[in-house]
Structure 1
Amino acid sequence: MNIRRASADDYSGIARVHVDNWLNTYKEIFPAEVLNTWTYETREVRWKKSLPKALSGGTMTFVAEEKGTILAFALAGTMRDARLRMRYTGEIYGVFVHPEHQGRGLGRKLFEACAEHLLSFDHARAALWTLENNPDRDFFETVGGKKVYDAPAEIGGHSYTKVAYGWDDLEKFQKHQLKLN
């Protein structure tokens, strides 16, 4: 397994992981009309357009691959949310592992890559948003995140709650991870 910076040509593999992860994670949470909008074709179009921006400046996308197949990806950059920006200048935009490859440590390795990237841009603290009813959100607690905020979210005309997890010391997190490896 290899962790590397994504390239613009990775859009198709990223789209497949994104769709499969999202449909698996939220199959019991979102209604069919929301889930049906998540197709490989629509995500490929979106990723082909947006991936070049997610590979420049302070934003970076990382992939975990094996034998040329993308198994997981994660993105990180500058905090987008004004409510969190005063405390957390960095943001991990998401960590997505294909359902068939969960439990192998790919998410943790990608999270570490994101933390290292954020530190290289002098982001000492970071946060991440996820849905409160995401069955995999305990992963963020496992890697040291603390629940710091919640807010309403509307998806497909339905109301949900999103939760922000924060890391107050990415350098400490990174040093702890190095000891574990």
Structure 2
Amino acid sequence: MIRRANKDDWKGISRVHVDCMHSAYQGVLPAATLDKFTYIDREKRWQNDLPNSIRGGTMNYVAVDKNGEIVGFALAGTMRDPRLRIKYTGEIYGIYVHPEAQGQGFGKKLFESVTEHLVSHHHTSIALWTFNEHSSCNFFEHLGGINVYEKTNVITGKELEECAYGWDDLQDITCNIEVQD
């Protein structure tokens, strides 16, 4: 099930965030960066930030398994990057699915949910950033994303190549999901 996040979801979101970062970015991000992703740190940040990310033009959704546990989340809102803002008005800030829950359709449902939210706020195109040649690239290409921009970013002294995936027309994305409030 996919639903809008509420202010009490901070602990489950934190767990997914930390576990995903350590699983997906081992060997990609510097160890010093990954070391900062701890349960304590993320819990403090999400407990503080979640109330602001569940209202207005920004929205956070969670994926919940049959036991009621949060196994994924996605966050989206207005495009922040000035290079992409010319063409893309909406941005998916992140889609995270716990490593043990990947491959079960949660990521696609989260993508559809944040896309529907952005359409409801009159966004007609979206983009997101990921690392070049990361496994997430295949996922975004499968969802119809096109690599539209690349940049180099330095994170904790390590030079990393990033790419933006874009969807030019959100009307082309079929969203057949019922989101519960």
- Tell me whether 16-25 or 148-157 shows the greater mean CA deviation: 148-157
Q: Is the 8 A contact 2:63 2:70 kept in 1?
A: yes
Is contact 1:116-1:174 (8 Å) kept?
no
How many Å apart are 1:176 and its aligned residue? 8.5
Match of 1:57 in 2: 56
The structural deviation recorded for 1:172 is 1.1
Asked if residue 95 in structure 1 is aligned to residue 89 in structure 2, the reply is no
* Cα offset, 1:171, TM superposition: 1.3
1:20 match: secondary structure = helix
Misfit runs of 4+, over 4 Å: 175-178
- For structure 2, the residue ranges without an aligned partner over 5 or more in a row are none
Q: Which residue of 2 is the match for residue 83 of structure 1? A: 83
Identity of aligned residues (%): 50
The 5 Å alignment of 1:25-36 reads 25-36=24-35
Counterparts of residues 39-58 of structure 1 (less than 5 Å): 39-58=38-57
Q: 3-state SS of the aligned residue for 1:28?
A: coil
* CA root-mean-square deviation: 1.6
Letter aligned with residue 30 of structure 2: P
Partner SS for 1:77: strand
- Give CA-to-partner distance per residue, 1:56-114, whole Å, 9 cap, x none: 11000000002221000001110001111110001111110000000001000000001
2:174 alignment partner, SS class: helix
Indicate the structure whose relative CO is greater, using CA pairs within 8 Å and at least 6 residues apart: 2
Contact preservation (8 Å) 1:3, 1:110: yes
Correspondence for 2:124: 124
TM-score (norm 2): 0.93
User: CA–CA distance in 1 between the matches of 2:125 and 2:177?
Assistant: 16
Amino acid at match of 2:171: E
Secondary structure of 1:137's counterpart equals helix
TM-score by length of 1: 0.93
Unaligned runs of 5+ in 1: none
Q: How many residues align?
A: 177
Q: Are the counterparts in 2 of residues 20 and 99 from structure 1 also a CA contact under 8 Å?
A: yes
